[in-house]
A and B are shown apart, each in its own frame.
Chain A
């Protein structure tokens, strides 16, 4: 049996996933994710030495379309759902995020 998932690992994963967790959530997820990962250990019993890792359905049947110019969303449609849009000169709206570069 592999070692059990730790609280510290859960906090590391949350940071990787850009998720803030409350202490209660971290505690709960440590237990619940540990249960699922313990269960998933049974996969190790399967002999996969001859099995490909890259298989997915439909891979052989996905022709690419021609790369051509075609109509797309107008800029005002594209930003219409932005939670905190900015407005530039002439009223053009844009996506806005907290300042990253001084």
Chain B
């Protein structure tokens, strides 16, 4: 008798369901059981769509023969709470959107459903995706499955924890400054930020419209490629979605890296400000050597302006946020504070209603960013802050263009983060310290380039470390090719974190 199929990955689940070896309902129940067992402890989910998921899985089983070619047939997925799901709670982990149920699905959700996926729930995140720890959530923090006293990263901490804890093999999330890649690194999973324009943003609650991009978190590189192929492509509802074809994304891996040139920005890594942890550095060098052993040429990359990416990002992103979040004013959706009697008549009364609604509805980090962005855009400061940051942004992109064109570099490699997961509460009172941890991830958003974080080992204390690759525009295929080489050399994804929730239900922090 053949061994039971190994159905941890999306690819294996799809194949087993298509072949009739497993039913979608069994797979879905397995995921719901994991969530029931562990999420009381991890707090990765904001809502579990139990009935809807089981009904959809039964539908997949009923149509298995007609649908057997669907690329995500019966694959359970979770969706970050900033992405609209029709009729289901979508709150951006904010009090201001309590009770909001969108009237439409985001384009990515429409495409995932059409590909046969089963949406099992929504995942926790920092409010409006603003944060690097998932501590700024109206639902409370998510814990790191590898270390319950540490953050899972953010803002997509629930998405990364859900994949790491095997709630579902795929999470869909957004990345504005590293929000997919940094939690992927902290939780030991694959996290992809596609090229700006590769994936439609329609139905994503906007944070930084020139920076936001939706991408998958998965256990393996092949799963990330398969999901990207489903969600990529132009969309009439997003004018910035690009027409570039998703060429052979899933076929990119070829088992070697010969002919590829990997650039390492040594000066950036060695700058004391980067604060690179010795164990992260060691894991980075080990991964780099594995890629070199697979035939790639490793060279220095010169990115002189990359050191300015954090200050540029923390002006551009809040500026865009302050504009995007102006729509949350208590009129069309969400909650309102202040009745007509309380705030009084006239323009002043209306302004009081806005101010009270936003005061009570937004958390501290969102307020900080709205304030910072409003300041950077305000009369007298626009040139010194916003305009200057946008100019530096273009110089950072020039650096990458030169590295790709003149130095012949195919991908740039860095650690995803300077440190492994930090403790819950450790950076809560010091926003600047939180922002500095984004030193290696924000460049991809400022430049629009595709980047992926890959599992690259664990520290002595057992904390995952991420390895980041940044590629040419619309060349996710090369990221997958190199990622596959690294995954074969060191298949870290095969180890799951201990199920602390099941054995330690009362453990508490904060």
Residues of A within 8 A of B (CB): 5, 9-10, 13-14, 16-21, 25, 28-29, 32-33, 35-37, 39-40, 42-44, 46, 48, 51-58, 61-65, 73, 77-84, 95, 97-100, 102
Contact = CB atoms under 8 A, between A and B. Distances in A.
B378 A13 contact: yes
B359 A78 contact: no
B349 A99 contact: yes
Given A13-B378, A19-B370, A57-B196, A98 B332 contact: no
Describe A's contact surface by its main secondary structure.
loop
Q: Which 6 A-B pairs have the closest CB atoms?
A: A57-B448, A81-B333, A20-B359, A48-B391, A51-B391, A57-B196
Contact of A33 (B100, B349, B359, B371): B371
A70 to B, nearest CB: 9
Given A58-B448, A80-B103, 17 more contacts: A19-B362, A32-B368, A33-B372, A42-B311, A46-B392, A48-B391, A55-B394, A55-B397, A58-B197, A61-B242, A65-B236, A81-B100, A82-B331, A95-B331, A97-B331, A98-B345, A99-B349
B14 interface: no
B335 to A, nearest CB: 6
Interface residue range, chain B: 35 or more
A85 B315 CA distance: 37
B242 A56 contact: no
Contacts of A58: 196-197, 240, 242, 448
Contacts, number: 176
16 contacts: A10-B371, A18-B351, A18-B355, A43-B308, A43-B312, A51-B391, A52-B394, A58-B448, A62-B242, A64-B239, A81-B101, A83-B336, A95-B332, A97-B353, A98-B349, A100-B346
Given A21-B359, A35-B432, A83-B330, A97 B350 contact: yes
Contacts of A25: 364, 367
A81 B326 CA distance: 17
Interface string B311-354: 11011000000100010011111111010100111110111011
A36 B433 CA distance: 10
Contact of B197 (A32, A61, A65): A61
A32 B197 CA distance: 34
A13 B350 CA distance: 18
A28 B367 CA distance: 11
A81 B395 CA distance: 43
A43 B305 CA distance: 10
A99 B358 contact: no
Contact of B315 (A14, A17, A40): A40
